[in-house]
Amino acid sequence: MPQTTPLIDLTPDQQIRLDRQMEFLREMDKLKSVLRGTKLINKSRRENSAEHSWHIMLYAAVLAEHAGPDVDIARVLRMLLIHDIVEIDAGDAPIHGHVDHAAMELKEAAAADRLFNLLPADQARAFRALWDEFEAAKTPDAQFAKAIDRTQPPVGNLHSGGGSWIEYNVTMDQIDTRVGVPINRGAPVLWAWLHPLLSNFFAKR
């Protein structure tokens, strides 16, 4: 007879904790179905929010040397991993779209309440605090995370002939305000590299 792997006995607390953690993780699968305003570089389809979260985590890991000295990249990666999970309930709010920002903030806060509270209480508090920190964008970690979040879409648009900028009729002035300000605040080296490329693109339009 085949030998079976021996099982340890879970305590009731371990069983309850794992049940909640797995429920949260199953719910996170829905992020793969949330479509964003940004298209893939090959223009074949819109990016989903799970792909976006993975990609900006990779951006942060590769570009970590351009963060300020007080930035903890491990915390930044955790922020970027969870920053958009509220879109499971609230949907995507394209940065250049016509969005009621006050209403969206309420929807996202309600989504954060529901989704993070699927976790055990200690993890729910820790994840929610990290999400709140990212949203407030006042700490060095959050500002670098925001800068990375704002860097990835325009890099994609530059390599796809304009992407969502064409769809939303975006101007360079709007880019400076909506993209340039947070990138320059959290990662000025990245903005110094990106700005000439953007200026050149919009000058030719």
The number of CA neighbours under 13 Å toward the Cβ of 167 is 15
CA dist 119 and 99 (Å) reads 30
In a domain, 53, yes or no: yes
- pLDDT tens digits along 146-175: 999 999 999 999 999 998 899 889 999 999
- pLDDT at position 101 is 81
In a domain, 23, yes or no: no
What's the mean pLDDT in 9-31?
98
The answer to whether the beta carbons of residues 141 and 79 sit under 8 Å apart is: yes
Q: Which two tokens stand for residue 178?
A: 């909506």
Q: Which structural domain, as residue segments, surrounds residue 99?
A: 45-203
In a domain, 117, yes or no: yes
Q: Kindly calculate the radius of gyration of the chain based on its CA atoms and give it in whole angstroms.
A: 19
CA dist 134 and 16 (Å) reads 29
In a domain, 146, yes or no: yes
What's the mean pLDDT in 84-93?
94
- Looking up residue 137, the CATH number of its domain turns out to be 1.10.3210.10
Q: How many domains does the chain have?
A: 1
- pLDDT at position 5 is 84
- pLDDT at position 98 is 80
In a domain, 76, yes or no: yes
In a domain, 13, yes or no: no
- pLDDT at position 125 is 98
Q: Tokens 């964003």 — which residue?
A: 36
CA dist 146 and 80 (Å) reads 9
Tell me: pLDDT of 59 over 90: yes
In a domain, 39, yes or no: no
- pLDDT at position 2 is 67
- pLDDT at position 140 is 98
What is the DSSP annotation of 41-108? TT-SSEEEHHHHHHHHHHHHHHTGGGS-TT--HHHHHHHHHHTTTTHHHH----TTS---HHHHHHHH
Tell me: pLDDT of 25 over 80: yes
Tell me: pLDDT of 1 over 60: no
CA dist 75 and 46 (Å) reads 28
For the ranges 11-20, 101-110, 119-128, which has the lowest average pLDDT?
101-110
CA dist 184 and 203 (Å) reads 21
> What is the pLDDT confidence band of residue 22, given thresholds at 50, 70 and 90?
very high
In a domain, 195, yes or no: yes
What's the mean pLDDT in 7-32?
97
- pLDDT tens digits along 124-148: 999 999 999 999 999 999 999 999 9
CA dist 145 and 130 (Å) reads 11
Q: Which two tokens stand for residue 124?
A: 């729910």
